Amino acid sequence: MVTANVSPTPDPLVTDLFASLPTDRIVTDADLVAPYEHDVADWVPHGNAAAVVWPCSTAEVAAVVAACARHGRPVVVRGAGSGISGGANAVDRCVVLSTERMREVVEINADERLAVVQPGVLNDDLRAAAAAQGLWYPPDPASASWSTIGGNVATNAGGLCCVKYGVTRDYVLALEVVMAAGDVVRMGRRTAKGVAGYDLVGLMVGSEGTLGVITEATVRLRPLRTSRPRTVVGFFDDLAAAGDAVSRVNARGIQPAAFELIDRFCLQAVNKWKNAGLPEDTAALLLAQTDIPEPGALDEAEAIHAEFVAAGAGEAMMSTDPVEAEALFDARRLSGPALLQLGHEILIEDVCLPRTHLAEMIRRIEQIAQRHATFIATMAHAGDGNLHPVILTPPGDEDARRRAQAAFEHIIDAALALGGTITGEHGVGLLKLPGMRRELGPQVIAMQRAVKAALDPQGILNPGKLVG
């Protein structure tokens, strides 16, 4: 008996996409699609996408979304894939819409102090373009050199400067968005003030691609900082003492431009990866930087130094050397990638606490690590109470994974018990869905789902994320 070769039935959605877009915008080969099916989160599932599409314009994005709407199929938007909550993970038979080819800085307007950019523009590239005009875009996630503005907006990203200068939401003035049926809308304004109607821009910021696809963002800029910053470094033999130092600085009403914590394990990881020569004989390194003009900068730096000493710093020092300061802050930015280089499976927390409870939360994390025999490294945007405990487990060790997952949930419970939140800047995605339900409660979850249903009645925009 001879069996005839039967070609697989073409996917009608993919056929529609090829009819709507240039062929170089689409790939369906499974090996080429696979890297686009998940972000950095190791601990959450992902499906198999039907195709990856790289639109180059708003019109092409609209064509992709409209095709998905016609066929009732999901579309998952992806920027650089640097997320760590599974927010960009594919679902089965979806289209992954990558914005990486939409990288134009459309406008830098020095008079109005704003920029207009496509979503695939890297954070650092926007900052460089603004700096060339004497302007500054403050939001600076540790992933600024590879994360995109679209992804930053989708997760309301923060960063090292947000303790003083605010997060992404504070800088987004207007958005161009492709809605679930494929129609293009503009929301927001270019003016410094405006209260016409609901704040739909604020709604879109942090919505993780579940309400629309951002195709252009208008963001506020500030004058480029010209004062020479002063950096204060404290070395602590106890993590909780470092947390107490943060509380002391905050209690004095001091507002550093950046205020970061790096524990011994992060320092060791950066040294191993970059041979950075950082100290490893201290439990934690605390970095504070002031950028106000002199003579106030010296007074502020001396006050921070005094609080570090009062909290028990084994050593504390002040510096105006920009090279030395940048090396230390680079160590903070590199902590996450350095831990990834160790070859362990990692589970990254993102809890945010009232600043007065930071030291207590650090103590509880240490207790949770001991209780579950789990290795936890800690880094933090300490000045605004945003902790990033990183749980590491040996590859393939299922018992260690179970302990790590239990520790992860207990850290969330501890943060909520202290009046905190499950995520300060990384987003909910898939990873934090159970914690979000515990934090918000059924009534608020129902309200969120009502908004989702109103704007995406077919449920095709990044389904399963953020609102479940």
Distance (Å, whole) CA 468 – CA 465: 5
Peptide bond into 389 cis (omega under 30): no
| Residues 110, 135 contacting (CB under 8 angstroms) | yes
pLDDT tens per residue across span 385-412: 999 999 999 999 999 999 999 999 999 9
Q: Is residue 183 part of a domain?
A: yes
Kindly state whether residue 443 falls inside one of the protein's structural domains. no
* Residue 167 confidence (pLDDT): 96
- pLDDT on residue 1: 44
Do 241 and 316 lie in one domain? The reply is yes
- For residue 88, report the phi and psi dihedrals to the nearest 5 degrees: -105, 15
* Domains: count for the chain: 3
- 185: exposed, middle or buried (Cβ count in 10 Å: 0-12, 13-18, 19+): exposed
Is 231 in contact with 287 (CB distance < 8 Å)? yes
DSSP string, 428-464: -TTTTHHHHHHHHHHHHHHHHHHHHHHH-TT--BSTT
Band of residue 3 on the pLDDT scale cut at 50, 70, 90: very low
The reported pLDDT for the residue numbered 320 is: 84
What pLDDT does residue 322 have?
85
In a domain, 23, yes or no: yes
pTM score of the predicted model: 0.93
Q: Which of 188, 223, 258 is the last residue of a domain?
A: 223
The enclosing H or E element of 177 equals: strand 172-178
| H/E run at residue 340 | helix 322-340
What pLDDT, on the 0 to 100 scale, is given for residue 324? 85
Q: Which domain holds residue 303?
A: 230-417
For residues 364-391, average pLDDT: 95
Residue 247 sits in the same domain as residue 316: yes
CATH number, domain with residue 59: 3.30.43.10
| pLDDT 10s digits, 415-468 | 999 999 999 999 999 999 999 999 999 999 999 999 999 999 999 999 999 887
| Same-domain pairing of 277 and 195 | no
Q: Which residue has the tokens 């640097």?
A: 82
Q: In terms of domains, do 310 and 165 share one? A: no
**425 Cβ contact list (under 8 Å, min separation 6):** 141, 155, 156, 157, 158, 159, 162, 167, 350, 352, 381, 386
Q: What is the pLDDT of residues 280-304, one digit of tens each?
A: 899 999 999 999 988 889 999 999 9
Mean pLDDT of the chain, nearest integer: 94
Q: Which of 22, 20, 57, 63 is nearest to 183 (CA)?
A: 63
- Can you give the CATH number for the domain in which 169 is found? 3.30.465.10
pLDDT at res. 391: 96
- Of 97, 203, 199, residue with least CA distance to 153: 203
Write phi, then psi, for 176 (nearest 5 degrees): -105, 130
Chain segment 207-246, per-residue pLDDT in tens: 999 999 999 999 999 999 888 889 999 999 999 999 999 9
Q: Residue 54: which residues within 8 A CB-CB, separation 6 or more? A: 25, 26, 98, 100, 101
Overall average pLDDT of the 75-90 stretch: 96
Q: Is 300 strand, coil or helix? A: helix
Q: Is residue 5 part of a domain?
A: no
Q: Which two tokens stand for residue 322?
A: 């920009």
Model confidence at 2, in pLDDT bands (50, 70, 90)?
A: very low
Residue 6: per-residue pLDDT = 47
Query: Which residue, chain included where needed, has tokens 């004989």?
Result: 281
Residues in the chain: 468
Residue 428 belongs to some domain of the structure:
no
**24-30-35 Cα angle (round to 5):** 85
Residue 4 has pLDDT above 50, yes or no: no
What CATH number corresponds to the domain at position 281?
3.40.462.40
Dist. CA 252–CA 263, nearest whole Å: 24
Same domain as 253, residue 149:
no
Contacts of residue 450, defined as CB under 8 A and 6 or more positions apart, other chains included, come to none
Task: Evaluate whether residue 73 is within a structural domain.
Answer: yes
181, 433 contact by CB (below 8 A): no
357 and 245 in one domain?
Answer: yes
> Which tens digit of pLDDT belongs to each residue from 28-59?
999 999 999 999 888 899 999 999 999 999 99
Are 277 and 392 members of one domain? yes
Give the model confidence (pLDDT) of 128-182 as tens digits.
999 999 999 999 998 889 999 999 999 999 989 999 999 999 999 999 999 999 9
Q: Is residue 334 part of a domain?
A: yes
**Last residue of some domain: 98, 115, 145?**
98
Cα dihedral: 349, 353, 356, 361 (round 10): -40
| Residue 433 within any structural domain of the chain | no
**One domain, residues 362 and 298:** yes
The residues facing 258 across adjacent strands are 289
CA distances from 446 to 65, 413, 442, 468 (A): 26, 22, 6, 11
Residues 118 and 62 in one domain: no
Average the pLDDT over 62-82 and give the result: 97
| 69 and 129 inside one domain | no
Which pLDDT score, from 0 to 100, does residue 227 have?
A: 83
- Helix (H/G/I), strand (E/B), else coil: 401: helix
> How far is residue 74's CA from residue 50's CA, in Å, rounded to a whole number?
10
Quick one: 343 and 268 in the same domain?
A: yes
pLDDT, residue 8, reads 67
Domain boundary (52, 70, 98) is at 98
pLDDT > 90: what percent of the chain?
86
**Domain identity same for 263 and 389:** yes
Sorting pLDDT into bands at 50, 70 and 90, what band is 277? confident
Give residue 387's pLDDT: 96
- The three-class DSSP label of residue 33 is helix
